[in-house]
Amino acid sequence: VQDTFLCVKPDGVERGLIGEMIVRFERKGLQLVGMKMITPSRSLIETHYAEHRGKGFFNGICEYMSGHPVVAMVWRGVDAISVCRTVIGATNPTKAAMGTIRGDFGMQTGRNLIHGSDGPESAAREIGLWFRPEEITPASVVPCINKWLYE
Ligand code: GTP
Ligand code: MG
């Protein structure tokens, strides 16, 4: 079982798509174990996207992501990191498959609606950056439906 960090970006919030996105992860079978709406500072976003520092789009993504409300979430499940990336779709919404969040709702890479951690190290780093431990449901809280999701 893995935990992954997702974040509904400002365009997703402003366009009224928070519920539309959450329902897709719920229906898939993932467990929501942390969630809050916050308006991130520029320094939080710079730390979050530190791997992209120095790239041409870095300033743009910091302007886009900071100073506007976002919905930070932690989702749990078997292979949750890759499952969530599949639900989200490719980085560029013009290339993302229909049926994915970015494929269904996006028009441009710089407005791609939602973030998802890309591996176990980034998931752990991002969850620690955005959440305090007591804001995450303990692993001992196992949903009853799990016996119908996993053999
Ligand atoms: P995240 O889940 O947000 O991390 O997206 P990703 O993992 O699919 O892509 P990546 O980590 O490579 O890029 C992070 C974010 O930077 C993307 O989601 C975009 O919002 C933005 N970004 C990446 N490449 C470009 C680009 O070429 N142009 C613009 N304008 N934004 C970009
Ligand atoms: Mg990424």
Q: Which of 6, 5, 115, 127 is CA-nearest to residue 64?
A: 115
Please report the ipTM that was assigned to this predicted complex: 0.96
- Per-residue pLDDT of the chain (151 residues), as tens digits, is 999 999 999 999 999 999 999 999 999 999 999 999 999 999 999 999 999 999 999 999 999 999 999 999 999 999 999 999 999 999 999 999 999 999 999 999 999 999 999 999 999 999 999 999 999 999 999 999 999 999 9
**Cα–Cα distances in Å, from 21 out to 48, 86, 100, 124?**
21, 13, 10, 22
Structural domains present in the chain: 2-149 (3.30.70.141)
Ligand at minimal distance from the CA of 114 is 1
Distance 48 CA to ligand 2 centre (A): 10
Tokens coding 148: 């119908």
pTM for the structure as a whole: 0.97
Indicate if ligand 1 lies below 6 Å from the C-beta of 116. yes
Total number of residues shown for the chain: 151
* Interatomic CA distance for residues 97 and 74, integer angstroms: 24
Determine whether 52 is an active site residue: no
Task: Tell me if 3 sits within 8 A of 36, measured CB to CB.
Answer: no
Indicate if ligand 1 lies below 6 Å from the C-beta of 118. yes
Indicate if ligand 1 lies below 6 Å from the C-beta of 115. yes
